[in-house]
């Protein structure tokens, strides 16, 4: 995002709040998707015994989530690496040098570490100026929208002239562990399964 006169951008946040930015525009957008795709059908097959034990109708996962498949990075890919892949592609498409980037916000749900901020790792990987304003914006699935609003506000108020908002998720370990735990619970009775899930 950058400062461009006479460009109007409207950002609508959840609820009724709407902000109109007069001097902000999106210069570039890039997405880098993982090549590992896991369908809801595959997950369902893994945890089928517990579906049957709890009396859960087949197709519930797709119906409740609306998700037929999800993509994951191979083991060893960190959130910062995933974000850097897309960020590099986005920066390659802008008309100005990456040295002009004065702010970077990482809005991922998953992080490399508790500290330092994942944004710092992406900032270093991209070789952006040391003077850049760098931080993580954490608010679940709304984090990216919050990052856009925050960066737009900084540009509108002329604190920075250009910045980048990134997000990279690497959560197969969490999902895989959850599936493994459910498979183990499949051998237990309904009451024990419910009790174990509540306690966890």
Its domain, for residue 123, covers 1-28+35-200
pLDDT of residue 190: 53
pLDDT of residue 187: 59
Specify the pLDDT at position 17. Answer: 61
Q: What is the pLDDT of residues 53-69, one digit of tens each?
A: 778 787 787 888 888 88
| pTM, 2 dp | 0.73
pLDDT beneath 50, residues of the chain: 4-8, 200
- Residue 63: count of CB within 10 angstroms of its CB: 10
Q: Domain count of the chain?
A: 1
For 41, which DSSP code? H
Which CATH number belongs to the domain containing residue 161 in this structure?
3.40.47.10
Q: What is the DSSP string of 88-119?
A: HHHHTTSSS-GGG--EEEE--SS-S-SSS-HH
Q: Are 37 and 46 in contact (CB under 8 A)?
A: no
């Amino acid at each position: 995002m950058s400062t461009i006169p006479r460009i109007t951008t409207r950002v609508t946040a959840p609820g009724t709040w709407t902000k109109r930015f007069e001097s902000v525009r999106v210069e570039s957008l890039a997405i880098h998707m993982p090549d590992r795709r896991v369908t809801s059908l595959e997950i369902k097959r893994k945890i089928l015994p517990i579906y049957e034990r709890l009396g859960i109708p087949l197709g519930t996962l797709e119906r409740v989530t609306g998700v037929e498949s999800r993509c994951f990075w191979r083991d060893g890919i960190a959130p910062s690496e995933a974000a850097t892949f897309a960020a590099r592609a986005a920066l390659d498409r802008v008309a100005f040098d990456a040295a002009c980037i004065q702010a970077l916000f990482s809005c991922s749900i998953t992080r490399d570490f508790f500290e330092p901020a994942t944004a710092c790792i992406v900032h270093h990987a991209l070789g952006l100026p040391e003077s850049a304003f760098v931080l993580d914006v954490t608010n679940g699935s709304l984090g990216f929208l919050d990052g856009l609003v925050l960066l737009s506000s900084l540009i509108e108020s002329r604190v920075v002239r250009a910045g980048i908002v990134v997000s990279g998720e690497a959560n197969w370990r969490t999902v895989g562990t959850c599936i493994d735990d459910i498979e183990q619970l499949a051998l237990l009775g309904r009451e024990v399964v419910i009790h174990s899930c509540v306690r966890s």
